[in-house]
Each structure stands twice: as C-alpha cells, then as structure tokens.
Amino acid sequence: MARARRYDPERRERIVDAALTVAGRSGISGLSHRTVAAEADVPLGSTTYHFASLDELLVAALRKANEGFGRLLREHPALTDPDADLAAALARLLAEWLGGERARVELEYELYLAALRRPALRPVAAEWGESVVAALAHRTDPVTARALVAVMDGICLQVLLTDGGYDEEYARLVLARILRTEA
C-alpha cells in the first residue's frame, strides 16, 4: 500500500531557512543537499525535488537573505521625507544593520560575494543592488544612488573584514559628500 503524501506547504521555505542555517554555521562550502535535508528534518529527496542544484538553493537563500536590509531601507521614513537628512539616515540604518546579529550580516555578504564564482547567483546579487538603487532614487538621481550603494557596501565590508567598529559619523560624512556632488 502506498504511503499517503504528507501535505507540507512550508517545506520549501523550511529548506531555504535550513540552507541559511547550514551556510551560517559551516559556510557555503559546507552546504549540500544532504546537510540541508538533515537541518530541515526532511527527506533528502525533498531538497532535490524543490532545488535541482545547489545553485538553485543558493539563489533562493540569497533572495531570502537580501530581504532584511532591503526591507529596512524601503520602510525607512527618510526615503519619503524630502526634508530628512538622507546621509544621516543611511548612516544610522547601517549602524542598525551592522549592530544586529553579526553572523547574519556576514552570511548575507558571503552569499552576495559567492556570485563572483557562481554565475547563477549574479542576477540575484544584481537584483539586490538594483532594488537598493531604486529605493534611494526616490531621494536622489540614479547615478548618485549607485554611488551611495557602492560606498555603503564598501563601509560594511571594511567593518566585517577588519573586525573594526562601525563609525556612524564617518559614514555620515562620506555619504554626505556623495550627496553634495549631484550633477
């Protein structure tokens, strides 16, 4: 007699969450269908059913990881208030993000930078950049928005790679300089 198939509509999402947990604990190199299935407590076949390749799983994980900062940015009132100090607001936003769980921020960057070696991730990395540019473009022009994204990425990477502390005033000054150079 065939076993009844278990209805589990959240299984795909649990697999993505498990991939983020495994990658956070062991790095991307520790990610496999088997390690993710064990973490999600699902049969191995479930991971390969939902994600035919590890790249597909990493794409879904990167999309989910990107949600955090993007949501913070989109919901920030300074992006809709033309009188708000955008440089100060962005510097504060980076402080909140970097001041959260460091392992989560490191994982987001690890997944983002994995696109250097995994072409399947490049469109997702580009989507993230474009979504941040689009959010910032409400307050500035697209070229300046791209410059802001590049500088914010650079500041975050410097903090993560040097184990240095985040200097909000420095970030505000640098971002303000970019905003004053609009053409």
At 13, which CATH number? Answer: 1.10.10.60
For residues 45 and 73, membership in a common domain is answered with no
What pLDDT is stored for residue 3 in this prediction? 46
Indicate whether this model's pTM tops 0.85: no
For residues 32 and 119, membership in a common domain is answered with no
Q: In this structure, is residue 22 part of a structural domain? A: yes
For residues 95 and 138, membership in a common domain is answered with yes
pLDDT in tens, 11-42: 999 999 999 999 999 989 999 999 999 999 99
- List Cβ neighbours of 24 (8 Å cut-off, separation of 6 or more): 103, 104, 107
Residue type, 38: A
Domain of 41? 8-52
Q: In this structure, is residue 24 part of a structural domain? A: yes
Total domains present in the chain = 2
> What is the band of 181 on the pLDDT scale with cuts at 50, 70, 90?
low
Cα 111 from chain centre: 8
Q: In this structure, is residue 57 part of a structural domain? A: no
Q: In this structure, is residue 1 part of a structural domain? A: no
What pLDDT is stored for residue 12 in this prediction? 93
Q: In this structure, is residue 32 part of a structural domain? A: yes
pLDDT in tens, 39-93: 999 999 999 999 999 999 999 998 988 887 777 787 888 888 888 999 999 999 9
Strand, coil or helix: 164: coil
Residue type, 32: S
For residues 101 and 142, membership in a common domain is answered with yes
What pLDDT is stored for residue 4 in this prediction? 45
Share of the chain above pLDDT 90, in %: 58
Given a cut of 90, whether residue 104 has pLDDT beyond it is: no
CATH number for 122: 1.10.357.10
Q: In this structure, is residue 12 part of a structural domain? A: yes
What pLDDT is stored for residue 150 in this prediction? 95
Q: Return d(Cα 74, Cα 10) in angstroms, integer.
A: 26
Given a cut of 50, whether residue 132 has pLDDT beyond it is: yes
For residues 81 and 44, membership in a common domain is answered with no
For residues 25 and 69, membership in a common domain is answered with no
